[in-house]
Amino acid sequence: EAQVTQNPRYLITVTGKKLTVTCSQNMNHEYMSWYRQDPGLGLRQIYYSMNVEVTDKGDVPEGYKVSRKEKRNFPLILESPSPNQTSLYFCASSFGTGEKLFFGSGTQLSVL
Amino acid sequence: GENVEQHPSTLSVQEGDSAVIKCTYSDSASNYFPWYKQELGKGPQLIIDIRSNVGEKKDQRIAVTLNKTAKHFSLHITETQPEDSAVYFCAATSGGYQKVTFGIGTKLQVIP
């Protein structure tokens, strides 16, 4: 089954404790991206990647890092999480660009 | 950068009636406009999209219209059903389809 898999589904952490949210797709997609969803703000793009070792900032990249060492994986790293990063995070992928995105099921992150 | 405004934020319709959601965008270079449906507890799912060289596109009960001059596009759902109840997001892509900007979302409730 074609899918984008995010882990974990729920995560509670404390300020300053580094964490990684994993994202993996099995569709051989070149494009992958991360979004955060907040009430009243919709979905905002954090980072995107056009291919292995190619990443670029979206609209809200501050406080986040990403890496794309393999085509199928695109982890989101929070080196020093803060409470304002409490949000619902989605990973998405598509064949070549930001068109026709396939989304994961989301990761609900709470930073205390 | 691109700015996408979406309204209304909530919409209630009777089953069988039509629903219309409208979005405006700011970047005249944007050329791809998708609509995503997000059901409770799930990631967004693409339901229809349109490119800037097309004025209208239909898929069964849903349609999207685009007015490039006015920089707005709309989602039309006819003969609404309870399963249409969800949050709907519009989006615009720019930068060669790499950057994706979403609207804030519309929560549609279809009343049986």
B34 CB neighbours in chain A (<8 A) are: 99-101
Which single residue is written with the structure tokens 């965008």?
B25
Mean pLDDT, 10 residues at a time, over chain A (112 residues)? 94 96 96 95 94 92 97 97 98 89 97 96
| pLDDT for residue B17 is more than 90 | yes
Most A-contacting residue of B33, B47, B98 (CB-CB within 10 A), to test interface = B98
Residue B6's Cβ-count burial label (10 Å; 0-12, 13-18, 19+) is buried
B99 CB neighbours in chain A (<8 A) are: 45, 48, 58-59, 98
pLDDT tens track for B67-82: 999 999 999 999 999 9
Q: Minimal Cα distance from B31: which residue of A?
A: A99
CB atoms within 10 A of CB A102: 20
Structure tokens at B55: 């004025």
Under 8 Å between Cβ of A75 and A4? no
* Nearest residue to A95 (alpha-carbon basis) of A25, A43, A6, A23: A25
The DSSP bridge partners found for residue A38 are: A42
B100·A106 Cβ contact <8 A: no
pLDDT of residue B97: 67
Q: Count how many pairs of residues, chain A against chain B, have C-beta atoms within 8 Å.
A: 70
